[in-house]
Chain A
Amino acid sequence: MLVVAFVSFSLFNFVGDPINNMVGEETSDEERAELRETLGLMDPIHIQFSRFVVNASKGEFGISYQLRRPVSELITERLPATIELVVISALIALITGTLLGVYTGIHRKGFLSDFILAVSLLGVSLPTFVIGILFIYLFAVILGVLPSFGRGEVVDLGFWTTGFLTVSGLKAIILPSVTLSLFQMTYIIRLVRAEMMEILQTDYIKFARARGINEESIKYKHALKNGLIPVITIAGINIGTLIAFSIITETVFQWPGMGFLFIQAVQFVDIPIMSAYLVFIAFVFVMINFIVDILYYFIDPRIRVKGDTASG
């Protein structure tokens, strides 16, 4: 986290003189110097950095150059949109990905498996924005059933604005979330498939068969549970990637989330927003990995009792 904080902090120093961005052409040198002093820009680097870290931990990233509003306020305003989008697409990716992966892992030679794998190849190789544009063309332009941009009507719950409570909001989330999930889904399909195929070859599956355990139980209880362990690791990392990918998806669908905010910030060299976004993404990655590690504890008994390998 500190490393990322330092990188995003150094943005301030290397991307350009913030004073130039803030003041007009005709400001005198004295005024600039004075402003510099009051903003603490003359202090040594390490003091500036520690101030940045302290403020960041309080959620303060300064004021947006472009919108003249506190960055923290902008982020809390945009956060719900991104979170909703990412959660929905993560669910789509995980659930359909696992189901299709299990299917293709078990029915290795069927026509449907080959078809799913062929389509999943498309999902991996086509860039997200192409898929997004194709979806917009198909569902919004030709069929006209789904909106092509925005969140639809949202309901304000005070601390959170949600699109889940209105029909237009729900309709609006379909295209972007499916677009976003497609890449991860294909990834998970292939992973689950490979895991299932490998596990169905193991000795304990063979031994379970030799004991006459029925096939359904072997596949879904014995094999799938073992197969999901690596999926959780990958899924954890990928939820982080989903947020990163959401920049593109949000731009294509004009989704008013953080990625869209970031893109706009880049266009206007709005450094406080950019650095805040970086720190936020890093924070999310760390949190997700932490949660994944805890999940491991519950799923894999071998980790639970590490150091306590009792023998009898």
Chain B
Amino acid sequence: MSFLKINNLSVDYKMRKETVYAAKNVNIEVNKGEILGLVGESGSGKSTVGNAIINLIDEPGKVSSGSVILGDLNIHENSESIVKYRGNKIGLIFQDPQTSLNPILTVGEQLIETIQTHLKLSKEDAKNKSINLLKEVGIKDAEKRFDDYPHQFSGGMRQRVVISLALCCEPELLIADEPTTALDVSIQSQILDLIKKLTKERNLAVILITHDMGVIAETANRVAVMKNGNLVEIGETKKILTTPQQSYTKSLVSSVPPTNKKISRFVIVEKENKKNNIKILNRWTKKEISNQDLVQVKNLNKSFDDNFFTENSKNSVLAVDNVSFEIKEGESFGLVGESGSGKSTIAKMIVNLFRPSLGDIFFDKTCITKIKHRSELMKFRKQIQMIFQDPYSSLNGRLKVKDIIAEPITLHNPSISNSDLNNYVNDLLDSVEMTQKSADRYPHEFSGGQRQRISIARALATQPRLLVCDEPTSALDVSIQAQILNLLKDLQEQLNLTILFISHDLPVVRQMCDRIGVLKDGKLCEVSNTEDLFLKPSHEYTKELLHLMPKIESIYN
């Protein structure tokens, strides 16, 4: 007999015109001491199911049918009854520790209030209990930190606080909704270890909602796969990840970048998988690969300071610390590192959005950091283009797609005729596998993956030699990520592009890059060929990163 039984759970969102079924007849069972992974891409309804268990669905959504049985309690008997089980029997952890704590109450106040809501304890007892909890989740100096406000904790520590809040009234079921997505790998593994430890010690039933197959492979006992509100497949983790039965699960698993080998292309099951021929090729003034350094970065430094007047003083933060590397023409160079390691700062200095505090950047043997005249700089701007992380904010929502792509063309070539411009825009859309109809639409009509394609088309419009990709796929689902990465590979191959690829995601970098530089706290730890780096890393930090990265292959062990 399972501890948690979800029977035929459905969640509807009644909109003005139609009803959206966010979850349809979902049946899930979870045992005590077991971690159930709930995976799916965005919009699959995995978070909806998690929230529906404690009836925490935002208006106009509604649990329309089904029952949730916890032990021998029917907790959906009526809408009032669920409130007394929240926090008490069921704990919930949200994705972003930055926003899930109330900023103006101390950690202690939030803990005591929660404890006193459910347990009849005096303030003193509640305080002792909270301090013990904080110790249990691994917060040092718990007595002192008890009176701190959330912003005084780092991201990983906050997530620990969130976990202690979710567990403070000793629930028997824990629902963790993407608990590590906003965290760096090293902190992610700590938090996952903590969840595993607590599951065992407290004999919890845990539902772990995530999109990351690597996390699932390393933590979950069983997996449930969701798509469009339907439960596609459920079973032992090993079985689902190695011998999936449903075609959707198969394509999902094959889209995940493997961590142990380099593959030439991602297998995309649901779509015809062929190389795309690029029409803009005839417009491209193709250069022979010179095998020389296209970009040289020499002793680069960048410090940031709140205060303009005290730059370079003691208070300033050294975001980039004496970094040097070269990128050969035609190669893909990867920069990896955790948040705050300075990888985006370097990218912004290469495209000349930031000026370095010290050091030089050479592009095609010219020092671009010393250029004073705008007109001269424009020549280089044309040759270096950037693709940003967030496809939602990097496209101007008030412009049509064709105007977005045409803008850089007309900027660098004002005399281009209208018909020629239209043809060029259409060719660009073609080469990123978008239909020509999309030219007259606005960015909000497209999905994240399609928007990222538009960004790529815009970047290609000036026929750049260097493409700087700053986390181009981290906002996308795995299957879309696979498509975009395939596209970038094709483009690079046919157009002889040089790519600087920035990411925190080691498996992705392994698939994309020829050489990799590892950054930590603004310092470059090591630069080496991709395969060497993954097989025999020399720097301690690289070893640690590789060890901590969640591996989907770990399921075979």
**Stretch in B26-34, B82-90, B247-255, B544-552 with 4+ CB within 8 Å of A:** B82-90
Cβ proximity bits A276-312 to B, threshold 8 Å, 1 near / 0 not: 0000000000000000000000011110010011111
Contacts of B114 in A (CB 8 A): 211-213
With known contacts A203-B94, A222-B102, A299-B104, A209–B86 Cβ distance under 8 A: yes
Please pick, from A212, A222, A302, the residue contacting B85 in the complex, using a CB distance under 8 A: A212
B54 CB-CB contact with A under 8 Å: yes
Q: Are A312 and B100 in contact (CB under 8 A)?
A: no
Contacts of B149 in A (CB 8 A): 301-302, 305
Q: Are A301 and B153 in contact (CB under 8 A)?
A: no
Contacts of A207 in B (CB 8 A): 92, 94, 100-101, 162, 165
Contact residues, A179-225 vs B (CB, 8 A): 201-214, 217, 221-222, 225
Can you give 15 contacting A-B residue pairs, CB < 8 Å?
A201-B58, A204-B99, A207-B92, A208-B110, A210-B91, A210-B92, A211-B87, A211-B117, A211-B166, A212-B85, A212-B114, A222-B102, A309-B151, A312-B140, A312-B141
Measured in the bound complex, the distance between the Cα atoms of B91 and A229 in whole Å is: 30
Cβ proximity bits B56-69 to A, threshold 8 Å, 1 near / 0 not: 10100000000000
- Chain A min CB distance to B168 (Å): 8
Residue among A201, A204, A205, A221 with most chain B CB within 10 A: A204
Residue among A208, A299, A302, A310 with most chain B CB within 10 A: A208
Q: Are B99 and A203 in contact (CB under 8 A)?
A: yes
Measured in the bound complex, the distance between the Cα atoms of B456 and A112 in whole Å is: 52
Cβ proximity bits A216-242 to B, threshold 8 Å, 1 near / 0 not: 010001100110010000000000000
Footprint of B on A, CB under 8 Å?
A: 201-214, 217, 221-222, 225-226, 229, 299-302, 305, 308-312
Measured in the bound complex, the distance between the Cα atoms of B461 and A100 in whole Å is: 54
Contacts of A305 in B (CB 8 A): 149, 151-152
Number of interface residues of B (CB under 8 A): 42
Please pick, from A213, A301, A309, the residue contacting B104 in the complex, using a CB distance under 8 A: A301
Measured in the bound complex, the distance between the Cα atoms of B112 and A107 in whole Å is: 29
Please pick, from B54, B101, B118, B152, the residue contacting A210 in the complex, using a CB distance under 8 A: B54
Measured in the bound complex, the distance between the Cα atoms of B102 and A229 in whole Å is: 13
Q: Are B118 and A226 in contact (CB under 8 A)?
A: no
Q: Are A301 and B94 in contact (CB under 8 A)?
A: no
Q: Are B103 and A204 in contact (CB under 8 A)?
A: yes
Contacts of A225 in B (CB 8 A): 104-105
- Chain A min CB distance to B50 (Å): 10
Contacts of B141 in A (CB 8 A): 312
- Chain A min CB distance to B370 (Å): 34
- In the A-B complex, the 8 residue pairs with the smallest Cβ-Cβ separation, listed nearest first, are A212-B87, A212-B86, A311-B154, A211-B87, A210-B92, A203-B99, A301-B149, A207-B100
Measured in the bound complex, the distance between the Cα atoms of B113 and A70 in whole Å is: 60
Q: Are A212 and B104 in contact (CB under 8 A)?
A: no
B96 CB-CB contact with A under 8 Å: yes
Residue among A202, A210, A221, A225 with most chain B CB within 10 A: A210
Please pick, from A209, A222, A312, the residue contacting B105 in the complex, using a CB distance under 8 A: A222
Residue among A207, A208, A225 with most chain B CB within 10 A: A207
B191 CB-CB contact with A under 8 Å: no
B467 CB-CB contact with A under 8 Å: no
Measured in the bound complex, the distance between the Cα atoms of B83 and A204 in whole Å is: 17
B135 CB-CB contact with A under 8 Å: no
Measured in the bound complex, the distance between the Cα atoms of B125 and A102 in whole Å is: 34
Which applies to chain A's interface (DSSP): helix, strand, loop or mixed? helix
Q: Are A302 and B151 in contact (CB under 8 A)?
A: yes
Measured in the bound complex, the distance between the Cα atoms of B54 and A209 in whole Å is: 10
Please pick, from B91, B100, B152, the residue contacting A204 in the complex, using a CB distance under 8 A: B100
- Chain A min CB distance to B342 (Å): 17
Contacts of A229 in B (CB 8 A): 104
Contacts of A222 in B (CB 8 A): 102, 105
Residue among A211, A213, A229 with most chain B CB within 10 A: A211
B139 CB-CB contact with A under 8 Å: yes
Contacts of A301 in B (CB 8 A): 103-104, 106, 149, 151
Contacts of B165 in A (CB 8 A): 207, 211
- Chain B min CB distance to A195 (Å): 13
Contact residues, B27-77 vs A (CB, 8 A): 54, 56, 58
17 other contacts beyond A205-B102, A207-B100, A225-B105, with CB at 8 A cut-off? A202-B99, A203-B100, A204-B100, A207-B162, A208-B110, A212-B85, A212-B114, A213-B117, A221-B113, A222-B105, A226-B103, A226-B104, A301-B149, A311-B153, A311-B154, A312-B140, A312-B154
Measured in the bound complex, the distance between the Cα atoms of B112 and A221 in whole Å is: 14
B145 CB-CB contact with A under 8 Å: yes
- Which B residue's beta carbon lies closest to that of A215? B83
- Which B residue's beta carbon lies closest to that of A229? B104
Measured in the bound complex, the distance between the Cα atoms of B166 and A201 in whole Å is: 19
- Chain A min CB distance to B314 (Å): 12
B223 CB-CB contact with A under 8 Å: no
Contacts of A202 in B (CB 8 A): 99
Contacts of B84 in A (CB 8 A): 212
Measured in the bound complex, the distance between the Cα atoms of B544 and A148 in whole Å is: 80
- Which A residue's beta carbon lies closest to that of B99? A203
Measured in the bound complex, the distance between the Cα atoms of B162 and A302 in whole Å is: 19
Measured in the bound complex, the distance between the Cα atoms of B83 and A207 in whole Å is: 13
- Which B residue's beta carbon lies closest to that of A202? B99
Cβ proximity bits B211-253 to A, threshold 8 Å, 1 near / 0 not: 0000000000000000000000000000000000000000000
Contacts of A213 in B (CB 8 A): 87, 113-114, 117
Residue among A203, A209, A310, A312 with most chain B CB within 10 A: A312
Contacts of B92 in A (CB 8 A): 207, 210-211
- Chain A min CB distance to B520 (Å): 16
Contacts of A209 in B (CB 8 A): 56, 86
Contact residues, B142-191 vs A (CB, 8 A): 145, 148-149, 151-154, 157, 162, 165-166, 168-169
Contacts of A212 in B (CB 8 A): 83-88, 114, 117-118, 169
Please pick, from B86, B104, B148, the residue contacting A211 in the complex, using a CB distance under 8 A: B86
Measured in the bound complex, the distance between the Cα atoms of B99 and A123 in whole Å is: 36
Q: Are A208 and B104 in contact (CB under 8 A)?
A: no
- Chain B min CB distance to A201 (Å): 8
Contacts of B151 in A (CB 8 A): 301-302, 305, 309
Contacts of A203 in B (CB 8 A): 94, 96, 99-100
- Which B residue's beta carbon lies closest to that of A205? B102
- Chain B min CB distance to A135 (Å): 39
Contacts of A217 in B (CB 8 A): 113, 117
Measured in the bound complex, the distance between the Cα atoms of B100 and A222 in whole Å is: 12
Residue among A212, A302, A311 with most chain B CB within 10 A: A212
